[in-house]
Amino acid sequence: TPLGAGELAVLASLGHARVAVRCRPRVAVLATGAELLPVDAPSPLAPGRIRDSNSAMLASLVAEAGGEAEQLQAVSDRLEDVLPVVRQALDSGEYDMLLTSGGVSVGDHDVMVDLFDTWGGRLLFNKVQMRPGSPTTAGCRNDRLLIALSGNPGACLVGFRLLVRPALQSLLGEPRATAAQLSLSSTHPGPPAPLQLYEEAILDGAPIKGIALERYVRAKLRLNGGRVYAMPCAGNKSSDLLSLREAECLIVVPPGGEGVQPGAVVRIIRL
């Protein structure tokens, strides 16, 4: 149980000055890519170079989920540079989890693909049937979890919300974060989960095109007449940064290509 003001008041009234708690998960955050520069790199940037924004975003998301993040220095997309950093983070005992961003697709410089062939750990899964974030990959080494997220910021955010945040909540001992409970829906047989992953809203604005994979669209929420409406953010490409600032939820678009029309009831995942 997260200890907030009410919980602390009850504990204090019962004379419990000290209580046993879970340690906050320690998470290392590593961005890969030769194009990446520190946040304080002066302008103008050289052609083909960008500042590392994913590390700052992931560190904030880790903190919001109850963990403690440390941003490691970004490394180039060469295996000889990435491999020792990954091994050190997972073998040192300093961290419970390592998050990387970038290098998980199929390009010439996607170093994480090569790393999972040589790192000496156990591959848990390679790619997920979702968009954005389908290249997301995960493995385990020395009982430490490595989750490799997409370098596109929108896909990185979706991968964190769907996969990393539940893992952090599980490390914190929250029973509602177990995979079995997250997969429950209102029509799923068996006992209900303490907290459903999905909520419902009415699609507002333009129709959303469907694709073969399950799609997660960043959206804003508004309340009107006691009903919740979800409107897709402008600029929903995986590379779009500004929509991350506006997004309050993810609209879940079922796979199969039919899409969703305005006025339809959609499933949402709050951010």
What is the C-alpha separation between 183 and 181, in angstroms, rounded?
A: 5
- Domain assignment present for residue 12? The answer is no
**Are residues 215 and 261 located together in one domain of the fold?**
yes
Scan for tokens 């998980």, then name that residue. Answer: 104
**Are residues 141 and 173 located together in one domain of the fold?**
yes
- Domain assignment present for residue 95? The answer is yes
**Are residues 239 and 169 located together in one domain of the fold?**
no
- Domain assignment present for residue 17? The answer is no
What is the C-alpha separation between 244 and 20, in angstroms, rounded?
A: 36
- Domain assignment present for residue 40? The answer is yes
Domain closes at, from 177, 211, 235: 177
**Are residues 31 and 144 located together in one domain of the fold?**
yes
**Are residues 125 and 204 located together in one domain of the fold?**
no
pLDDT in tens, 94-122: 999 999 999 887 665 689 988 999 999 99
Per-residue DSSP letter, 176:
G
Domain closes at, from 129, 146, 177: 177
- Domain assignment present for residue 232? The answer is yes
**Are residues 154 and 49 located together in one domain of the fold?**
yes
Domain at 234, CATH number? 2.40.340.10
Q: Which pLDDT belongs to residue 175?
A: 65
**Are residues 216 and 134 located together in one domain of the fold?**
no
- Domain assignment present for residue 205? The answer is yes
**Are residues 210 and 266 located together in one domain of the fold?**
yes
Q: Which pLDDT belongs to residue 105?
A: 77
**Are residues 169 and 229 located together in one domain of the fold?**
no
CB atoms within 10 A of CB 243: 20
What is the C-alpha separation between 127 and 137, in angstroms, rounded?
A: 5
Scan for tokens 């290392």, then name that residue. Answer: 28
Domain at 68, CATH number? 3.40.980.10
The total of structural domains in the chain comes to 2
List b or e across 43-67, with b for residues whose CB sees 16 or more CB atoms inside 10 angstroms.
Answer: eeeeeeeebbbbbebbbebbeebbb
- Domain assignment present for residue 184? The answer is no
- 77-84 long-range contacts, Cβ below 8 Å, gap at least 24? 77/32, 77/33, 77/34, 77/102, 77/103, 77/109, 77/110, 77/111, 78/34, 78/111, 79/111, 79/114, 79/115, 79/118, 82/32, 82/111, 82/112, 82/115, 83/115, 83/118, 83/119
Domain that includes residue 89, residue range: 22-177
What is the C-alpha separation between 261 and 204, in angstroms, rounded?
A: 9
**Are residues 145 and 56 located together in one domain of the fold?**
yes
What is the C-alpha separation between 269 and 271, in angstroms, rounded?
A: 6
Contacts of 5 (CB under 8 A, 6+ apart): none
pLDDT in tens, 165-191: 999 998 998 765 554 344 433 333 443
* pLDDT per residue rounded down to tens, the chain (271 residues): 888 999 999 999 999 999 999 999 999 999 999 999 999 999 999 999 999 999 999 999 999 999 999 999 999 989 999 999 999 999 999 999 999 999 887 665 689 988 999 999 999 999 999 999 999 999 999 999 999 999 999 999 999 999 999 999 989 987 655 543 444 333 334 433 334 578 999 999 999 999 999 999 999 999 999 999 999 998 888 888 888 999 999 999 999 888 999 999 999 999 9
**Are residues 130 and 209 located together in one domain of the fold?**
no
- Domain assignment present for residue 107? The answer is yes
**Are residues 242 and 141 located together in one domain of the fold?**
no
Domain closes at, from 128, 146, 177: 177
